[in-house]
Amino acid sequence: MANDVKPTRKNLMAIEDRIELSERGHGTLEKKRDGLIMEFMDILDKAQDVRGDLADDYEEAQQKINMARAMEGDVAVRGAAAALQENPEITTESKNIMGVVVPQIESSRVSKSLDQRGYGIMGTSARIDEAAEAYEDLLESIILAAEVETAMKKMLREIETTKRRVNALEFKLLPELYENQEYIEQKLEEQEREETFRLKKIKEKKEQEEKEAREEEAEEVDEETEETEEDLEDIQPDTAAQSPAANQ
């Protein structure tokens, strides 16, 4: 609250510094928020494409595996799946997007050639090969979707956090600082007016005292002048009386 702030010039300077810093921070956070939103929109578009591809790949993989089971039987399909010797490898790294660390997933040994799948080429049919290839594509789509979805969630959380900080500065901290600044400026202006009025009164009082002193001094001079004139008047008759005697 403004009333809790002491109206001093030191506090005013401190508040002005905080206002300047908060305004810079507000501008920086606004730019970050806008940049994050733009990046998020790009990731969202990519996520929508990935989701569509994932749904298509899943549907195709289901169709292929159902066809393989119908044509070759569950025993042959399970036997081909059990023959797999090299499992896919997944490594995760990180990348920075507008200050947000998001995962970057790299995969290897997902898509395999016929001789890398472990089952004999002569012992299986094209239906099983198509099902295996379809599931390899599905796995790659799942890996890509995991990367995109995780990045999107992290970006969304950072956007919400940044928006809260921007709103806190814009609607809470800065208005309070402006209010405190205005309060202190008003109080300092009142103090300055009071000080000016007090100095004016002191000056007027001093001038009045000086005037009275001059008047008193003038009165004293007049009194001294009157006394001198009276003394001269008293002396003049005696001088006139003595003059004939002096002449004789």
pLDDT > 90 fraction of the chain, expressed in percent and rounded: 35
- Give 11's Cβ-side CA count (13 Å radius): 17
pLDDT in the model for residue 131: 86
pLDDT in the model for residue 227: 67
The model's pLDDT over 38-92, given as tens digits with 9 standing for 90+, comes to: 999 999 998 999 999 999 999 999 999 898 888 888 887 787 777 776 777 788 8
**Does pLDDT of 121 surpass 80?**
no
Tokens 């969630």 map to which residue?
153
Closest CA to 47 of 153, 137, 138: 153
Contact 116, 136 (CB under 8 A): no
Average pLDDT over residues 170-187: 93
Q: Which of 67-71, 116-120, 177-181, 205-209 has the highest mean pLDDT?
A: 177-181
Average pLDDT over residues 106-110: 74
Q: For residues 157 and 100, what is the distance between their CA atoms, to the nearest angstrom?
A: 10
| Domains with residue ranges and CATH for the chain | 10-157 (1.10.287.3240)
DSSP state of 111: S
**Does pLDDT of 238 surpass 70?**
no
Closest CA to 174 of 23, 36, 55, 14: 23
84: helix, strand or coil: coil
pTM over 0.85? The answer is: no
Average pLDDT over residues 130-148: 88
**Does pLDDT of 245 surpass 70?**
no
Averaged pLDDT of the chain: 83
pLDDT in the model for residue 247: 47
